[in-house]
Amino acid sequence: MGRFIVVEGMDGAGTTTQAELLSERLERSSTRSVVRTREPTDEKIGRRIRRRLQELNASSSREEWAALALNFSLDRLEHWERQIRPSLESGQFVVSDRYQMSSWVYQGLHLSREWIEEANSFAGHADVNVVITLSPEVATERRIERSRQAGQVSKTDIFEHQEFQSAIAEGYERAILRWRKLGRSVVEVDGAQSVEGVHQALWSKLAALGVVP
């Protein structure tokens, strides 16, 4: 069997960058093939989710959030059945930018986390969940800077970003405890470091677990 590694973290933590760096290093250092993927996926349901995420906001109804969550769980199940599991069975590494924990954290702001767990219970679990931790303040600074460069920032934006990121940070703290209680492997990496520093720390912790060469 191959190894399934998921990179998780709040917005601004750099999950996409770190998933790419990890994949590239695995390709250089391992004889196994590496499958790079992400969620939402680039399939039909995943594309629908990405469009819907642009439309929902704080005033959206619970039913709308539930519909989004169900789309996520269906996208994930198809992702698992059509790409992840076959790749693992053929002995490959699979590196995903986000997976089940993101649903638990983000959708858990609007819905029961027990319900979210049940909705996602048919998809397999990662061998290791790497969580890039970041303070809400740093995450907000990074997001606001991106908005400022695009000329789309205000004092209201800053306040709302800070409040949202604080809720997400707390969600990840709870998710880490929940995953460990369920016996799932979780590795935490300080995301306040440089991009290279985060990558090296991530690789070292995975190597200590025997997950990477």
| Alpha-carbon gap, residue 30 to 14, rounded angstroms | 24
By C-alpha distance, which of 207, 131, 122 is closest to 176?
131
By C-alpha distance, which of 35, 39, 43 is closest to 102?
39
Classify domain 3-208 by CATH architecture: 3-Layer(aba) Sandwich (3.40)
Q: Residue 43: which residues within 8 A CB-CB, separation 6 or more?
A: 75, 78, 79
Q: Please spell the DSSP secondary structure of 18-79, one letter per residue.
A: HHHHHHHHHHHH-SS-EEEEESS-SSHHHHHHHHHHTT--TTS-HHHHHHHHHHHHHHHHHH
Q: How many residues does the chain have?
A: 213
**Per-residue pLDDT, 155:** 47
Write down the domain spans for the chain.
3-208
**Per-residue pLDDT, 102:** 97
201 touches 151 (CB < 8 A): no
According to DSSP, residue 6 is labeled E
The pLDDT tens digits along the chain (213 residues) read: 899 999 999 988 999 999 999 999 999 999 999 999 999 999 999 999 999 998 988 789 999 999 999 999 999 999 999 999 999 999 999 999 999 999 999 999 999 999 999 999 999 999 999 999 999 888 878 777 776 776 665 444 555 577 888 999 999 999 999 999 999 999 999 999 999 999 999 999 999 999 999
**Per-residue pLDDT, 144:** 73
Predicted TM-score of the model (pTM): 0.93
| Alpha-carbon gap, residue 107 to 102, rounded angstroms | 8
| SS3 state of residue 198 | helix
By C-alpha distance, which of 12, 10, 7 is closest to 22?
7
